[in-house]
Amino acid sequence: MAKLSIKRLRLFVYNNLQNDDHQSTFSLCVNYFLIFLIVGNVAAVILESITELYLAYQVYFDVFENISIALFSIEYVLRLWSIVEKEPSLPASQQRLKWMRSGEAIIDLVAILPAYLNFFVPIDLRVLRILRLLRLLKLTRYFVSLQILLRVIKREKGSFQAVIFILVILIVMAASGIYVVENKAQPEAFSSIPHAMWWAVVTLTTVGYGDVTPITNMGKFLGAIITILGVGIAALPAGILASGLANELNQRNQRLEQEFRELVQAHGFEVVHNTIELEKLRQRVGLPKEQMHEIIIQLLREHVLEEQEQQNSKKHYCPYCGEKLPE
């Protein structure tokens, strides 16, 4: 009896914390509370950087931080404990270890780990504040757009690695080239290749701060070539990301459309005239209203065409004997 109660409790926790297919008023309240807590933590870190404000309300900031650490720790433990309900047939230890290695679990751990490390190893307050900003990554769990972006980055990581590799080569070559042609003219600005890398990065990314500029004719010519190359190379990551996002959104829309079609067909064609039921199906799938209306119109057209074909096929057969009439 006790085991059954624990299992029910664990399933309840799993459904309300981790099961995306389960939506209830309580789970929505939990999600919104955690979102506001994350945003509140980020706001607190920003406000704490104002020395006068932090000193005036230090007690409140510290209390809020301690409460946040406690709540985030409880959340992490509950997620780790309840993850076994995802696939009850698999061993609990295997599922928990797999979840701990996942990206979302690592983000959750990073959100609370610096606070606990501070008890054993003193950490500079400024560094600790920056580490607390990592809690902002927890929002990726609650926003589909951020999840799509992370999936695109993960899928296109090979392309990004190639672009980074090309950029590194160009930076080294540009820094070496400008060092050779500008070292004698500006020994302080281009004293070595590592020093020249700052100019190479700024020029290749087309930022151009202007703090260090070539003055020789050869240096200016090299700078112009590097700038032109930088325009194309620096735009590559944005192009890869835009293309990947377009493909991901297209695949997602097709998947949602297929799921909605299957649900409508499973409930019978009459459901297209029931706006309340359609809205429930739309929310269940997560389909935009405009796309739902397009699918409904398409289904109605297909239904009309199917009825016309059936009527036309009946005309070619005798209504009495059922035999096919001559052409």
Q: Which residues contact 203 (CB under 8 A, 6 or more apart)?
A: 174, 223, 226, 227, 230
Residues 107 and 16 sit within 8 Å (Cβ to Cβ): no
pLDDT in tens, 114-141: 878 777 777 666 777 777 777 888 888 7
Mean pLDDT over 269-289 rounds to 67
The pLDDT of residue 285 is 64
The residue among 54 and 288 whose pLDDT is bigger is 54
Indicate the pTM of the whole model: 0.69
- The correct answer on CATH 3.40.50.2300 for the domain covering 163-250 is no
Name the fold adopted by 6-142.
Four Helix Bundle (Hemerythrin (Met), subunit A) (1.20.120)
Question: Distance (Å, rounded) from C-alpha 21 to C-alpha 39?
Answer: 25
Assess whether pLDDT exceeds 80 at residue 53: yes
Angle between helices 125-132 and 25-48 (to 10 degrees): 150
What letter does residue 189 receive in the DSSP assignment? T
Question: Distance (Å, rounded) from C-alpha 171 to C-alpha 201?
Answer: 6
Question: What residue segments make up the domains of the chain, in order of their start?
Answer: 6-142, 163-250, 253-315
CA end-to-end span of the chain, whole Å?
A: 75
Question: Distance (Å, rounded) from C-alpha 118 to C-alpha 83?
Answer: 29
From the number of C-beta atoms within 10 Å of its C-beta (0-12, 13-18, 19+), residue 123 rates as middle
> Residue 257, CB half-sphere, CA atoms under 13 Å: how many?
15
Q: Which residues contact 159 (CB under 8 A, 6 or more apart)?
A: 240
